[in-house]
Amino acid sequence: MTTTQESSIPSRASVVAAAATSTETDGGQLGSDLEDAGEDIADRGQRLVDTVRGIGRLFGDDEPRNERPRTPRVDGDSGGDDQPERAPQPVPKGLTAPQWDEAVDACQEAHGKSEEECRELPVFVVDGKRKPKIAINDASAIARGKPWLLNTMRDKDAAELNREFAGCKAVWAGPDSCDEYPFASTYQGGLGAQVMGVPKWENDQQGRDMSAFLRRNRMKRGDPFLVWTINVSQQNGNWVAG
């Protein structure tokens, strides 16, 4: 029978005290290690920030930019999933949707532009029901090969010179008021324009329509636009409007 002296067996209190001392020592060491690791991470982070700032200064930036990466653009893409598709252009004032489609088709064929490019061009509509004589002059001139993709000048003095070169100033001896196509207010107007005598009220209305058109489309010098005639046609060799 084996016996053990009581004095050689540690008491519960001494075991608990020893364990507490050991835990305190280990915990203190762990806390110290974590603190050292945290300082090391912070130091590395600061060095990284300093490096990025240095790179930014090389390219003229004092601070690095925090921009969202952009989606690479591909053919037919607008440049990113978050960008809305371009809204369709509204039907130009004075045209129906089928008339606009016809004008766009003719624009593509005559000027070699894409459908989108043609639909983005402002359209100045000349209606044979509103201005019959002017519509006949414009439509017949276009049928003879005069351009219908024009560029506005936004220059009153130059427009007056174009009217003179077209024969619509002092030398005009025809009836009524002189109308010219291409318009005197465009770079295509002037010498070689087709002229016709029209009622003065039509010419006055044409001037008001053009001014409103330029304002509505916020057109600047050199901006292109299309001319499209409606309610006018050639019948048995004669032009008829209305």
Following DSSP, what letter does each residue of 50-109 receive, concatenated?
HHHHHHHHHTT-SS----PPPPPP-TT--S-TTSPPPPPPPPPTT--HHHHHHHHHHHHH
Do 107 and 194 lie in one domain? The reply is yes
Is 41 domain-assigned?
yes
pLDDT by residue (tens digit) across 163-185?
Answer: 999 999 877 787 789 999 999 99
Using the predicted structure, report yes or no on whether residue 237 has a pLDDT greater than 70: yes
| Boundary residue ending a domain (58, 74, 89) | 58
Q: Supply the DSSP symbol for 190.
A: S
pTM: 0.65
Do 41 and 102 lie in one domain? The reply is no
Q: What is the pLDDT of residue 66?
A: 40
Provide mean pLDDT across the span 143-166. Answer: 96
Is 112 domain-assigned?
yes
Provide mean pLDDT across the span 187-195. Answer: 97
Identify the residue with better confidence: 236 or 49.
Answer: 236
Q: Could you identify the residue written with the tokens 């001037």? A: 207
Do 187 and 237 lie in one domain? The reply is yes
Do 116 and 40 lie in one domain? The reply is no
Do 141 and 216 lie in one domain? The reply is yes
Using the predicted structure, report yes or no on whether residue 145 has a pLDDT greater than 80: yes
Do 227 and 136 lie in one domain? The reply is yes
| Residues 125, 128, 129: CA angle, nearest 5 degrees | 110
Q: What is the pLDDT of residue 171?
A: 73
> What spatial distance separates the first Cα and last Cα of the chain, rounded to whole Å?
134
Do 101 and 42 lie in one domain? The reply is no
**Confidence tier at 198 by pLDDT (50, 70, 90):** very high
Cα within 13 Å of Cα(44), Cβ side: 6
Do 156 and 205 lie in one domain? The reply is yes
Range of the domain at 54: 13-58
Distance, CA of 34 to CA of 79 (rounded, Å):
47
Do 49 and 145 lie in one domain? The reply is no
Is 69 domain-assigned?
no
143 with 234: CB under 8 angstroms? yes
Identify the residue with better confidence: 13 or 205.
Answer: 205
Burial 201-239 (b: 16+ CB within 10 A, else e): ebbeebeebeeebbeebebeeebbbbbbbbbbeeeeeeb
pLDDT by residue (tens digit) across 25-69?
Answer: 455 555 555 555 555 565 565 555 455 455 444 444 444 444 333
Q: What is the pLDDT of residue 175?
A: 77
Q: How many structural domains comprise the chain?
A: 2
Query: What Rg, from alpha-carbon coordinates, does the chain have?
Result: 41
